[in-house]
Amino acid sequence: MAIPADTVSDQTIEETVTLATDWDTDHSIAIPAERTAWMIHSLGFHGRVNHYVGALWFYELYRKGHQYASATVDFVGTPTVNEYTDITIGRVGEPESLLMVRHLNLYGDTAETIAKAFELEFNRGYTAIRAEASATQLTIYARAMGEAGEAVSLDVSPASGGFSLTKSAANLTGGLDGNWYTDTMADPRINRACRDWSRGFYDACKGYGLDMTAAFSLELQHGDPSAEAGIGQRYSNGEACLLNTPALQTNFSPVSRAYWEKVHLEMADILAAAGYVPYLQFGEVQWWYFPNMGPFDPPISMPYYDQYTKDQFEAAHGFPLRFIGNQNVNPADFPEEAAFLPSLIGTFTDEIRAYVLAAHPNCRFEVLYPTDVNDNAWGHLVNYPNAAWTPEKLTTLKTESFGFTFSRDLNKSKYSIGYGEGKGFDRNQRCFLVGPGDSSTTWEKEARIAKKQNLESIVLFALDQFCLIGYPVPFWKGLRKGRRL
């Protein structure tokens, strides 16, 4: 139910609690940035904002393997003055769509000048085709991408005589749809829509006095999964690590790192332009946690088998990286792998930090670490590079554990909230992220426990779920102690 009102009542201010935003969701990408900022502020959540820039739409795209449909027209002979040269286009199977484009042959016209005349005509605003003339040949291209362009029909006149036109086919051909992939070489890497929305959001939040962190994970919805692209984590059978986000889980190779360095620097620039000391989060920048995409998919192996990782491991140890079937293996059986795999993560984040710090020496960094999916001996070792993720290198360590929340295991949740202490992070360097997406879980109790520990910030992920479910604010009021009657 929506009740119109002229004003919004003041809410209890939560100085260390915030509602996360996710640019992949409609509470961000589909509404003005200023409105999103206003909602967070008006609801009383004044903690440091956690803005996930997303995995689905922030990047530029290109269409790999794409080709426009085309056809050629050859102009042969000497044109006769005051006669007509015609090219007719339309849609295949739709005679009512036919359009005859006519050229009156003038004194001085040649096969070459008439080809050029048609090029100029077709390029002055036709929406179905464009053309390029080269000497006496005219190539007509569809403007529709891929196979859709093959629906353009083609006819020519005269087709015989002292001056004639020869078409390569009765319709445009050769259209290939290809596949849309993230353009890892685009400059800038972040697309205009994301840059503009982010700047508007940061400006608005800055005006409200809210601190801001921008987060990226390793996921790219349109990441190129091919082996030759070299950016995806891969299973032992060569399949790319494609998640049900949907997204490709990218790897720690120099090719992947070069892309993410640019992405992080561009976002730091946007934060700085809004008046912030940049604050960037490595959001779940780790090896994928399972031997498959989801719990109902057949297991393959852990995703450590991209070519770069295999080559680096063999160069370091003199033998191939061994088969690791799942996350429950005994690290003692794979001592070299257990030491090597986290080092790639550490190098990856260290290099990105160095790249950004060269331009923004005061930039702050945070790691988001999921304790639930790493709650096994193997995950503890390979997905936390101890030498790289230290209190000296990171401003904050943020933990999350949606699995513990959904299983309603408060003991595990307490472990997650306190995890950073064991890594040397003080309370003012520790944060906790919890999901309010299921009102029947223990998320409110987890948030209260985290608040009592005086952590730097508590993040509810995310704004859209909080609003759609319709939790009251302040949500702490929803918690009641049991009474003995």
* pLDDT tens for the 485 residues of the chain, in order: 567 777 777 789 999 999 999 999 988 999 999 999 999 999 999 999 999 999 999 999 999 999 999 999 999 999 999 999 999 999 999 999 999 999 999 999 999 999 999 999 999 999 999 999 999 999 999 999 999 999 999 999 999 999 999 999 999 999 999 999 999 999 999 999 999 999 999 999 999 999 999 999 999 999 999 999 999 999 999 999 999 999 999 999 999 999 999 999 999 999 999 999 999 999 999 999 999 876 678 899 999 999 999 999 999 999 999 999 999 999 999 999 999 999 999 999 999 999 999 999 999 999 999 999 999 999 999 999 999 999 999 999 999 999 999 999 999 999 999 999 999 999 999 999 999 999 899 999 999 999 999 999 999 999 999 999 999 888 876 555 444 44
Q: What is the pLDDT of residue 485?
A: 40
Task: Name the CATH architecture for the domain at 17-61+183-478.
Answer: Alpha-Beta Barrel (3.20)
CB-count exposure of residue 375 (10 Å: 0-12, 13-18, 19+): middle
Cβ proximity of 56 and 247 under 8 Å: yes
Rg (alpha carbons) of the chain, rounded to whole number: 29
Q: What is the pLDDT of residue 10?
A: 76
Q: What is the pLDDT of residue 322?
A: 98
Residue extent(s) of CATH 3.20.20.80 domains in the chain? 17-61+183-478
Distances (CA, A) of 144 to 64, 129, 130, 133, 401: 16, 8, 10, 20, 46
d(CA 291, CA 286): 14
Residue extent(s) of CATH 2.60.40.4390 domains in the chain? 66-167
In the beta sheet, which residues pair with residue 434? 460
CATH of domain 66-167: 2.60.40.4390
